[in-house]
Amino acid sequence: MLWCNDYCFVHYPKTAGKSLTRFFVKAWERPINGFISKGQVKELADCELEKTNIVVGRGHENLVESQQIIKEDGKDIHAMKAIFVCIRNPYDLMVSNYHFMRETYKNNKDKANFIVAHNNDFDTFCEEVGVSSPRNWMELDGKQPANLQVIRFESLNADLIANAEKYGYAAPEIDHLNSSKRGHYSEYMTSRSEKAIYEKFEYFFAQGYYERELFGDESVLQVAQG
């Protein structure tokens, strides 16, 4: 997460968090506070981190956790101009998660979700992997804050520029970090994986952010197990 006097950014996993962190660190006025992963320190080396209050931490604090952290900093998250969160098509997000966890398994062999990804096909992964509901990053006290500003992964560049113009902060060049090269999510989907994804991300569908899609019993692309 990041925050300054006027804005907060909460990072739901696998939604261009590194690119968004870099963008907001460049865009917002100081002082900027936040938590980033160890790997991001190098990626933000040209952003003058020494002039911020950004430190290495967990980095995926949800909205309740972020509210408490900001309160301890003497600020009210509801009084900020905007709380930014990025959302992503859940089918695409899960395909991305699956490939990421399989590709980085060697460095995460002790983590349950990575083991599930490594040992199973995509359908089984979707059924067995643990996922935190996006509701936790988008609601406080059972409802979305009035100042919640949703950014869509699918229109990332346009949304970031539009928000910069709306709120009057800088719009630096958008760096796309950790972008993956693979088939379209629809090529990995089946009716079985769709059902599992719908159940895990019901919030996105219920809120009208995305519509359910129909897929066949067999996927177009297969990924070798193990």
What pLDDT is attached to residue 60? 84
Whole-number Å distance between alpha carbons of 1 and 77: 13
Is residue 97 assigned to a domain? yes
Inform me whether the pLDDT recorded for 224 exceeds 60: no
Q: What residues does 56 pair with on adjacent strands? A: 36
Helix (H, G, I), strand (E, B) or coil at 2: strand
In tens, the pLDDT along 196-223 reads 999 999 999 999 999 999 999 999 877 6
pLDDT in tens, 160-201: 999 999 999 989 888 765 566 788 999 999 999 999 999 999
Question: Where residue 104 sits, what CATH number does that domain have?
Answer: 3.40.50
Domain ranges, residue 82: 2-206
Report the pLDDT value the prediction gives residue 175, as an integer from 0 to 100: 74
Within a domain: 92: yes
**14 or 224: which leads in pLDDT:** 14
Q: How many domains is the chain partitioned into structurally?
A: 1
Report yes or no on 7 lying in a domain.
yes
Say which range, 13-17, 138-142, 161-165, has the weakest mean pLDDT. 13-17
> 117 in a domain, yes or no?
yes
Structure tokens given for 93? 């997000």
Q: pTM of the full predicted structure?
A: 0.92
